[in-house]
Structure 1
Amino acid sequence: MTSDPAELTAAELSRQISSGELSSAEAVDAFLSRIASLDGRLHAFVDVYGDEARKVAASADRAIRQGRAIGPWHGVPIALKDLIEIEGRITTGGSAEWRNRRSDRTATIARRLLNRGMIFLGKTQTVEFAMGGWGTNQHMGTPWNPWDQATARTPGGSSSGSGVAVAARMSPWAIGTDTGGSVRLPAAFCGITGLKVTSGRISSYGVMPLSPTLDTVGPMARTAEDTALLYSLLEGIDPLDRATWGTPRSDVLAGLKGGVEGLRLARIHRDEREGVDEEVLAAYDASLECLAKLGADIIGLPLPFRFNACFSPQDAITKAEAYALFGHLANDPTTALGDLVRERILSGRNLSAQDYLVAMCQREKLGQEMQAAMIDVDALLTPTTETPARTLHDLDESYAASRFTKFVNTFDMCALAVPNGYTRHGLPTSLQIVCKSFAEDLALRIGHAFQLVTGWHHKAPMVDTVRARST
């Protein structure tokens, strides 16, 4: 048993706060103290709601003592990516141009968490407009990956601050968004668990968009169990988001402990192993062996295309939609946009309507081929990233971090990233569990079974001695 509430998972916090063993005030103080101690170096938060969080925690404790608890999550803290609108609060979208932009509405997901009595610790850093997978931000600052005390490394993006905050125990869990890997990449580089959901599962109303066709909101936590719990709080039909209308509900908690015996899990083709770091591959192969020992059938899956074949339609859709949303800022040379992000947005300027529609058709065609290939497969297992977190000083951002993540968005599938090892230098590696659309319950079930017999998700970075930031 730990005496530090910041070391507890969200599920453990809920149980202890509900039972009175731990007060919400004690939990919130523990996380705020950790933020105060570490975030000057880690830079995971763009804004911290300290005074308000403490007041809400005190109110939650009174309600719980008086038998007026809203539910099991009353008094449990959480962090939100700085794309999620809260009326009256600053939402920058990671852009220095919008440092003073106040939200005029509250996102549905934020309202759902508030209605459960949860407490917002603050907003976490993001790549500008969520347009980047490495986690860098030229003007607002790049979060420090806590797994390397000496060298600045990629935290993963675009949900960089959420990944760092959860890994460094500055929040028990957090909300991210994922357009091409933006939940799973920081989960992988920071050694935590992250879920990319099917479009329509979780409302995007009040969440600043990048590509409305591809954007999804996703939970980030230390464990598959916490991820499943947070997902269950967020999902559901929203009258304000048409994409959720008619989406079937799923009870991910009911089958979470179902195990993997008898499941058909596909491994990547040998050609997809080319260019992947040796230690990443070793952890991947060990994960396959682990799941096989649990009773899963590990099989080959011949695909009619390589994963990078999905880049062209995905990029065209993202660039066209991003330019429609932010082109007016990128076209103005006086705006305080990062150089790389401005370039990425402007790359959509010359895409025609025909280019866009062709990309949408390519997406549909490839998606049908993928669906046919996986018809008898429960999940496809891949590394989440090609390498562990890379050093920032020699990072080539023209090379995408999303080789194994982007196709999931292209085909509107779901996927869970879970830690599956550490390199000889102590950097996390990650396994991606890819399932068909609306099969989040299965992805979480596989991830939970894996974590029941492995301990990678319990390991924490030694962040107390992280050196002062040099980037």
Structure 2
Amino acid sequence: MNMPKQISEMLAAPAHAEQPTTRQFTRRDLLSVVRAAAVAPVVAAPAMSVAQAASTDTSNELIYMSATKLASLIRAGKVSASEAVEAYIARQLSVNDELNAVVMNSYARARKEAAAADKAGARGDWMGPLHGVPMTIKDSLDTEGVITTGATYGRQQHIPKQDATVVARVRKAGAILLGKTNTPEFTLGGLAGINAASNLLYGSSHNPYDMTRSTSGSSGGAGAIVAAGGAAFDIGSDWGGSIRGPAHNNGIAGIKPTSIRVPRTGHIVDYGGLFDLWQQLGPMTRRVEDLSLITPIIAGPDYRDASCAPVPWADPAAVNLKKLKVAFFASNGVSETDDDVKNTVIQAAKWMEGVAASVTEDLPKAILQDLYDARTKLTNADGWAFYKRMAAKWGTQNFSPSVGERMKTLTPISTADTVAAWDAADDAKSRMLGWIQKYDVLLCPVAGKAAEVIDRPASAARPNAYTWSYTGAFNSTGWPVVVVRCGTSADGKLPIGIQIVAAPWREDICLAVASFLESKSGGWKKPPI
């Protein structure tokens, strides 16, 4: 998409120490962007230009290498799309009985598409940067011709007539769908809430590092199968931590892009309404380089999601780590956080001390508390009537027991109190923007612990009121966040990720820092399954 040069330069400005003088641009400039984009097809080719960087992944095992590396091998004729698809299908068949991560497969179609991709490649007709790369997709995203339930009874045989926008874009770039991954009902409630990927239709998914542990949610099936080498990547959704929690629990990389960068069209909880800016879609991968490859492919307006903005994508490779001002905190002071998590964040901060301009421990506790309080009031404002509306829309009469129990304890608040909570959230967001002006990037926990046991007593289903306080704050602000594995639990078994947070539209900074930390920690590690 062509944009006025001055807008592109300003929005893609380099990091803190290199910020240029702010340029002036007119309403006419902005209108020219919209008019130019409006003539494009709704689910056109990738909305952002994608420069395919050379892979730095050293893995030589086909099912464990990055999507970036696999795509380059396919293009070089060293691996065929059919070989890749067969390898990933075999892996899914060998592990999914235990993981219960893939809940619907599309193997027959995948084999046909792989054969067609190989014929096209032989002619030099490459579809795009993901040509022949096998993927899975979270079951809350529509997939044309493949059952997509959203984990609710009313859609148990629902076959969408078209792909969600993000699915259409990665398929247009050459990716091949192998199946759908488990999620809680409507991504918001399940047998164990969003602590695990569980629902009445398919049951619970299991963590590949310890089958008794949670995958987290709501993109838990996605996190588990990617970690186990059953897909090159998945696309998840994040309303309060649903990409980041599974990335942390399953030891992979995931990104929640800036709010309104990626269209939500075709997701079961899509766009509009009070919670509009909280929801974002993003890729989940084993390696950070794949986040940099896939995110710009799925970004940009589709002219259905009315909030989606045509903001340029800045190259993470252009970020100068030596000029970054880094903030970190190892605990937010309200969520119970164990030493394993704290030590992982502290170690990441120490690694950054060797390359960054400054590293400062700084906790905006009061602002984070205000964001959490406002978010809680808004989430519960209508007593979860919004959930009942979704169930009614799809004809679901028996929905998640955890949601039913929650509804019994909630009393809707007044319109005046809802608006007041909205005002409080916006005020806290503004104060948070003021705080981040001192820094370029923030490092902090994803959760207070590594993956917890799935089968906990009902009274302990929500043991800590602030379980999602680390992640939900950045849905409220809309800021971009990348999660990458930086540590391991003291017993040597469970992965621990950290959040890398930047101001709006600065995914390039998040990804550059994540890539560096991945190089220090080793990032994803092969699970025992």
TM above 0.5, yes or no, is yes
Quick one: distance in 2 between partners of 1:348 and 1:209? Answer: 21
Match of 1:280 in 2: 341
Task: Give 1:449 deviation, angstroms.
Answer: 1.6
Quick one: distance in 2 between partners of 1:50 and 1:143? Answer: 20
Quick one: distance in 2 between partners of 1:260 and 1:420? Answer: 18
Task: Give 1:259 deviation, angstroms.
Answer: 4.7
Alignment of 1:282-431 (within 5 A): 282-303=343-364, 305=366, 307-320=368-381, 323-327=385-389, 329=391, 335-344=397-406, 350-394=412-456, 396-398=460-462, 399=464, 401-425=467-491, 426-431=493-498
Quick one: distance in 2 between partners of 1:347 and 1:103? Answer: 35
Match of 1:111 in 2: 168
Does the CA-based 8 Å contact 2:244-2:446 persist in structure 1?
A: yes
Does the CA-based 8 Å contact 2:335-2:467 persist in structure 1?
A: no
The amino acid that maps onto 1:446 is V
Match of 2:277 in 1: 213
- Of 201, 205, 218, 1:143 maps to 205
Match of 1:168 in 2: 228
Query: Which deviates further from its counterpart, 263-272 or 104-113?
Result: 263-272
The amino acid that maps onto 1:200 is I
Task: Give 1:352 deviation, angstroms.
Answer: 3.4
Task: Give 1:280 deviation, angstroms.
Answer: 1.3
Matched, 1:250 2:310: no
Match of 1:461 in 2: 527
Change (3 A) 1:27 1:349: farther
Quick one: distance in 2 between partners of 1:208 and 1:456? Answer: 31
- Of 99, 102, 123, 2:156 maps to 99
Q: Secondary structure at the match of 1:5?
A: coil
CA deviation map 1:155-201 (0-9, x unaligned): 11110011001100101111000011000000000000111111211
CA deviation map 1:294-353 (0-9, x unaligned): 234111335261634322322333345863253463899982212102334666672433
Q: Please list every run of at least 4 consecutive aligned residues from structure 1 whose deviation after the TM superposition is greater than 6 angstroms.
A: 330-334, 346-349
Query: Which deviates further from its counterpart, 432-441 or 21-30?
Result: 432-441
Query: Which deviates further from its counterpart, 235-244 or 45-54?
Result: 235-244
Provide the aligned C-alpha RMSD in A.
Answer: 2.4
Task: Give 1:244 deviation, angstroms.
Answer: 1.2
Matched, 1:179 2:236: no
Change (3 A) 1:206 1:138: closer
The amino acid that maps onto 2:362 is L
Change (3 A) 1:410 1:328: closer
Match of 1:13 in 2: 70
Matched, 1:52 2:112: no
Task: Give 1:273 deviation, angstroms.
Answer: 8.1
Change (3 A) 1:77 1:332: closer
Q: When the two structures are superposed, what TM-score results if normalisation uses the length of structure 2?
A: 0.81
Task: Give 1:407 deviation, angstroms.
Answer: 0.3
Quick one: distance in 2 between partners of 1:225 and 1:39? Answer: 26
Q: Secondary structure at the match of 1:363?
A: helix
Corresponding pairs, count? 457
CA deviation map 1:337-395 (0-9, x unaligned): 12102334666672433333222111101001111111121111101110010112226
Match of 2:194 in 1: 133
Quick one: distance in 1 between partners of 2:519 and 2:226? Answer: 20
The amino acid that maps onto 1:163 is G
Quick one: distance in 2 between partners of 1:401 and 1:408? Answer: 14
Identity of aligned residues (%): 28
Query: Which deviates further from its counterpart, 305-314 or 163-172?
Result: 305-314
The amino acid that maps onto 1:369 is R
Change (3 A) 1:277 1:236: same
The amino acid that maps onto 2:225 is A
Task: Give 1:274 deviation, angstroms.
Answer: 6.9
Task: Give 1:414 deviation, angstroms.
Answer: 1.2
Does the CA-based 8 Å contact 1:177-1:218 persist in structure 2?
A: yes
Change (3 A) 1:407 1:328: closer
* Structure 2 unaligned spans of 5+: 1-57
Task: Give 1:101 deviation, angstroms.
Answer: 2.3
Does the CA-based 8 Å contact 1:326-1:345 persist in structure 2?
A: no
Change (3 A) 1:328 1:393: closer
The amino acid that maps onto 1:447 is A
Task: Give 1:134 deviation, angstroms.
Answer: 1.1
Quick one: distance in 2 between partners of 1:331 and 1:340? Answer: 20
Does the CA-based 8 Å contact 1:257-1:449 persist in structure 2?
A: no
Q: Secondary structure at the match of 1:67?
A: coil
The amino acid that maps onto 2:281 is V
Match of 2:255 in 1: 195
Does the CA-based 8 Å contact 1:77-1:118 persist in structure 2?
A: yes
The amino acid that maps onto 1:443 is C
Does the CA-based 8 Å contact 1:166-1:173 persist in structure 2?
A: yes
Task: Give 1:223 deviation, angstroms.
Answer: 1.4
CA deviation map 1:192-215 (0-9, x unaligned): 011111121111011111743311
Does the CA-based 8 Å contact 1:330-1:342 persist in structure 2?
A: no
Q: Secondary structure at the match of 2:277?
A: coil
- Of 235, 242, 262, 2:323 maps to 262
Change (3 A) 1:424 1:242: same
Q: Secondary structure at the match of 1:261?
A: helix
Task: Give 1:144 deviation, angstroms.
Answer: 0.5
Q: Secondary structure at the match of 1:110?
A: helix
Matched, 1:442 2:509: yes
Does the CA-based 8 Å contact 2:219-2:243 persist in structure 1?
A: yes
Does the CA-based 8 Å contact 1:4-1:30 persist in structure 2?
A: no
The amino acid that maps onto 1:42 is L
Match of 1:239 in 2: 303
Q: Secondary structure at the match of 1:238?
A: coil
Does the CA-based 8 Å contact 2:196-2:454 persist in structure 1?
A: no
Q: When the two structures are superposed, what TM-score results if normalisation uses the length of structure 1?
A: 0.91
Quick one: distance in 1 between partners of 2:165 and 2:335? Answer: 42
The amino acid that maps onto 2:303 is P
Quick one: distance in 1 between partners of 2:209 and 2:357? Answer: 32
